[in-house]
Amino acid sequence: MQTTYLDNNATTPVSEEAASAIRRCLQSVYGNPSSLHMLGIEAERELNAARRELARILRADPREVYFCSGATEANNTLISGIARASRARGTHIVTTTVEHPSVLEPVQELERNGFSVSYLAPHPVRGVLPEQVLDALRADTVLVSIMQVNNETGAIFPVEEIARAVKAVRAEIVVHSDGVQGFGKLAPPTAALDAYSVSAHKLHGPKGVGAFFLRDGVRCKPLLLGGGHEHGLRAGTENLPGAAGFAAAAGAAEQQREAAQQRMQRLKDELVTAIEQIPDAQLLSPPHALATTVAAAFPPIPGEVMVNALSEQGVSASTGAACAASRGKRSHVLEALGFERRSIDSAVRFSLSRLTTADEIRRVTELLPHTVARLRPVAERVLR
């Protein structure tokens, strides 16, 4: 059966560039970058090259780029570490209700440890507005963390504008953004930010490797203590093949970014037009969402039933975030955006990448109307 992969917000296939960088490091650069001998020096050189490449793309200094195991670790390190390092100055944090759990959970943990948190509710169409963030600031605010692109809807939040607005009134507040779904797809907003989290496996790099940007001079306590790697902020022998694969994937994404976005937008428009023609289908993504993501609902068909039916026909989609889907949890993002329960329970997310083909989109647009027409009467009967 032909496969149509439309779950790229969950993870992406590894690109040729990344696979060959990983293979080269695995097979011939096996030294420990901290070792003093020739093989160690060679590994360190390779790691530095990967760091320089990410720094170039992030428009940062290589000393401001730290490798880690993925964006979950990057978000945990930055949020918990920056908050703990700033405790003497204040204990208030501003974030949104639609962040990924790897932001929300550490924030909630800080709340249990004496911090107070303002959770901003984004507008379903306009997103998070800089005024909203400014209104939430308090004298004791130390950290603002707002994602660049939402993983469930593709909504783009103006993080650069937000960071500039915050910095204009209180330069000492640290501004972080979870850039997982925006990195390699939008221009990096790092010039305006203090901290930014990214992950390799969302842009055709390997799983289990990520990085974060932390502006020089911003204080952060490490989560992992040990051998002092990554300038003391992330102990543990570096995942060199992962870092090299990440740098190769990020380089390719950056080089093809604009052309890929335009092509994906055309494919997404085709998919949206097809969805709009299905009776009673509802688009959950805002009109100006990133070209990667289309969230839609076909009530009253449960999202899992649609995803299974599509899967049987070779199409991989998702009910929403893969981590929530696997636990059968109702989406906190769609709930926060105020969608009715009926729409949330029917949500299906299609997510594209630069490797998505026109054929894949054609297949799903052909399958969708028939699949909905077949499943809807059954769902209506069961719910009656």
Interface ranges with ligand PMP (CB under 6 A): 70-72, 75, 100, 102, 147, 151, 178, 180-181, 199, 210
- The DSSP string of 32-94 is -TT-SSHHHHHHHHHHHHHHHHHHHHHTS-GGGEEEES-HHHHHHHHHHHHHHHHTTT--EEE
Q: What one-letter code names the amino acid at 365? A: T
Q: What one-letter code names the amino acid at 305? A: V
Rounded distance, CA 249 to CA 115, Å?
38
Rounded distance, CA 94 to CA 117, Å?
6
Instruction: Considering the complex, state which of residue 6 and residue 372 has its C-beta at the smaller distance from ligand PMP.
Output: 6
Catalytic residue among 25, 68, 220, 323: 323
Instruction: Considering the complex, state which of residue 10 and residue 379 has its C-beta at the smaller distance from ligand PMP.
Output: 10
Distances (CA, A) of 336 to 210, 227, 272: 28, 42, 23
Q: Using the structure block, give the residue that is written with the tokens 């992030």.
A: 58
Q: By beta-carbon distance, which residue lies closest to ligand PMP?
A: 70
Active site residue 25: no
Residues contacting residue 148 through CB under 8 Å, at least 6 positions apart: 156, 157, 159, 177, 178, 179, 180, 181, 182, 183, 186, 189
> CB of residue 71 vs ligand PMP: minimum separation in angstroms?
3
> CB of residue 185 vs ligand PMP: minimum separation in angstroms?
12
Instruction: Considering the complex, state which of residue 43 and residue 337 has its C-beta at the smaller distance from ligand PMP.
Output: 337
Q: Using the structure block, give the residue that is written with the tokens 């780029």.
A: 65
> CB of residue 186 vs ligand PMP: minimum separation in angstroms?
13
Angle, helices 240-255/16-28, rounded to nearest 10 degrees? 160
> CB of residue 104 vs ligand PMP: minimum separation in angstroms?
10
Instruction: Considering the complex, state which of residue 293 and residue 346 has its C-beta at the smaller distance from ligand PMP.
Output: 293
Between CA 361 and CA 370, with CA 364 as vertex, the angle to 5 degrees is: 150
Instruction: Considering the complex, state which of residue 96 and residue 102 has its C-beta at the smaller distance from ligand PMP.
Output: 102
Instruction: Considering the complex, state which of residue 46 and residue 178 has its C-beta at the smaller distance from ligand PMP.
Output: 178
> CB of residue 322 vs ligand PMP: minimum separation in angstroms?
6
Residues contacting residue 335 through CB under 8 Å, at least 6 positions apart: 344
> CB of residue 207 vs ligand PMP: minimum separation in angstroms?
7
> Which residues does the annotation mark as catalytic?
323
